[in-house]
Amino acid sequence: EVQLVESGGGLVQSGRSLRLSCEASGFTFEDYAMHWVRQAPGRGLEWVSGINWNSENTGYADSVKGRFTISRDNARNSLYLQMNSLRAEDTALYYCAKDKYSTWDAAFDIWGHGTMVTVSS
Amino acid sequence: DIVMTQSPDSLAVSLGERATINCKSSQSVLYRSYNKNYLAWYQQKPGQPPKLLIYWASTRESGVPDRFSGSGSGTDFTLTISSLQAEDVAVYYCQQYYSTPRVFGPGTKVDIK
């Protein structure tokens, strides 16, 4: 079964750091670009960051650029998001999502159930 | 950055009737070399992650009922539910994957009238 399972969320004070993880199974992880998408309570979807299959290309939303770092370990079938200098507005459910194709430019066909990050001010 | 807008914000449709959602991008998401529109539609039900419905603006994802269809090109796109079912109550989002950042539309909530 194709699956993405996020972990690492929690309650953290403003200004502190948190590292999210996403473990993939059921597909050849190293073949696909991966992304983080977040959803604040009661709000819409916001793309946060993406990384191509070999980590050579990464991208970030302006709202997190310089604070968040995406990475992956293909040997461990895992995606990560290092979040530094957290702010109250980073409070959201963070989803891990898989590109449909091996190219960097595709829709997101598999999503995890998310991990909640709450930043207290 | 490309800006995505959707209309309406919400709509209520009777069971069995047609629901139409519009999505507009601030610049074209048509990649002319491939003749493909880099536009996807997702469905999100309460308490669940988003689900891919349509990609390349009009290609239905495997397992998605054929009452869902996508159309449009360039900057204007439409998601149509031809005969609304109770299980279609959800928020629907469009997303462009033509460029980074991969912006989502604000969402359209679909309810039963």
Of A44, A47, A113, the CB nearest to B106: A44
Cross-chain residue pair A112–B100, CB shorter than 8 Å: no
Q: Give the per-residue pLDDT at A103.
A: 73
Average pLDDT along chain B, 113 residues, taken 10 residues at a time = 97 98 98 95 97 98 98 98 98 97 97 97
Whether residue A9 lies within 8 A of chain B, CB to CB, comes out as: no
A109 touches chain B (CB under 8 A): yes
Single-letter amino acid, residue A27: F
Q: What is the pLDDT of residues A79-119, one digit of tens each?
A: 999 999 999 999 999 999 999 987 778 999 999 999 999 99
